[in-house]
């Protein structure tokens, strides 16, 4: 198995696109979704386009967790790093996210009511629920350093036809 992909960025929202781009391309390695062809002048190579459901789920979950680290753990002040260790396999992706910000108790995040409809959706406090819904497994170990493990399997039905 190839060694994991590692990236360290400052813990502020300014660096989120760099981390997201890395995560998106790692997801693409698993889903085998096509990348933009930079030789095609009709496609802007700077547009970061993820369409495969596996890629969009992984990116959505990761963005929520990154936001929370920058906003809640580092309290928008930066001052620390967000370290990613990404392990793609042929049918799964594991993203480990480490930070040295303020730890918290994930168990205190109130669950969404079961009978939720559009009118009763809360305005905030959705990030953790979104991330959980998008992934097969999500764990958080408070530190410091705090460690998130975000895990998603590629459903057999989404395995690209003809991948090598």
Ligand X SMILES: Nc1ncnc2c1ncn2[C@@H]1O[C@H](COP(=O)(O)OP(=O)(O)OP(=O)(O)O)[C@@H](O)[C@H]1O
126 binds ligand X (CB under 6 A): yes
Residue 102 binds which entry of ligand X, Mg ion, none, with Cβ cut-offs from 5 to 8 Å by kind? ligand X
| Cβ-Cβ contacts under 8 Å for 73 (sequence gap 6 or more) | 11, 99, 101, 102, 103, 104, 146
- Residue of 9, 30, 69, 97 that binds ligand X (CB under 6 A): 69
What distance in Å separates the CA atoms of residue 150 and residue 30, rounded to the nearest whole number? 15
- Residue of 7, 109, 147, 159 that binds ligand X (CB under 6 A): 109
Q: Total number of residues binding ligand X (CB under 6 A)? A: 13
**DSSP reduced 3-state for 107:** helix
Residue 30 binds which entry of ligand X, Mg ion, none, with Cβ cut-offs from 5 to 8 Å by kind? none
What distance in Å separates the CA atoms of residue 24 and residue 88, rounded to the nearest whole number? 11
Give me the residues that bind ligand X (CB under 6 A), please.
64, 68-69, 72-73, 102, 104, 109, 124-128
């Amino acid at each position: 198995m190839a060694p994991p992909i590692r990236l360290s960025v400052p813990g502020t929202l300014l660096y989120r696109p760099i981390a997201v781009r890395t995560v998106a391309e790692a997801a693409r390695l698993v889903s085998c979704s096509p990348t933009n062809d930079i030789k095609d002048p009709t496609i802007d190579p700077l547009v970061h386009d993820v369409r495969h459901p596996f890629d969009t789920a992984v990116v959505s979950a990761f963005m929520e967790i990154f936001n929370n680290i920058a906003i809640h753990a580092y309290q928008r002040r930066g001052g620390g790093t967000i370290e990613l260790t990404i392990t793609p396999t042929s049918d799964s992706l594991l993203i480990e996210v480490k930070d040295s910000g303020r730890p918290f108790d994930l168990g205190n995040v109130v669950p969404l009511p079961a009978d939720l409809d559009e009118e009763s959706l809360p305005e905030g406090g959705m990030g953790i629920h979104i991330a959980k819904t998008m992934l097969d497994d999500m764990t958080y170990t408070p530190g410091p350093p705090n460690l998130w493990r975000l895990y998603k399997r590629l459903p057999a039905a989404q395995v690209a036809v003809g991948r090598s």
